[in-house]
């Protein structure tokens, strides 16, 4: 069975917003720079609250930052 994945455009949005640094974004949403690094590397998925704070920091909708990628499930073997 394949897992689903949540993609994001945080890095692109940072550069589209005056080349905002990871530290600046982290400070504006109340997390550490390491959290932003993990989010951009898709090693960590944010809480719903953090997802909204990140979207708000960029002035966009949550869907403009995060994308849910549903992957098909394999058929069960008998």
Decide if 69 contacts 5 (C-beta within 8 A). Answer: yes
Rounded average pLDDT over 65-74: 82
Tell me the CB-side half-sphere exposure of residue 10, using CA atoms within 13 A: 31
pLDDT tens-digit readout, 5-49: 899 999 999 999 999 999 999 999 999 999 999 999 999 999 999
3-state helix, strand, coil in the chain (%, to 5): 50, 10, 40
Structural domain contains residue 45: yes
76 domain-assigned: no
Give the chain's domain count: 1
Q: What is the DSSP letter of 60?
A: S
For residue 29, the tally of other CB atoms under 10 A from its CB is 20
In a domain, residue 25? The reply is: yes
Residue 75: inside a domain:
no
Residue 15 within any structural domain of the chain: yes
Give the CATH number for residue 61. 1.10.260.40
List the domain range (segments joined by +) for residue 39. Answer: 5-69
Element (DSSP H or E) covering residue 7: strand 5-8
């Amino acid at each position: 069975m394949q897992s689903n994945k949540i993609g994001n455009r945080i890095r692109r949005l940072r550069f589209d917003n005056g080349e905002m640094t990871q530290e600046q974004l982290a400070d504006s949403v109340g997390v550490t720079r390491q959290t932003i690094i993990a989010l951009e590397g898709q090693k960590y998925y944010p809480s719903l609250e953090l997802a909204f704070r990140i979207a708000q920091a960029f002035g966009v909708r949550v869907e403009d930052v995060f994308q849910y990628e549903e992957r098909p499930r394999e058929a069960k073997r008998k």
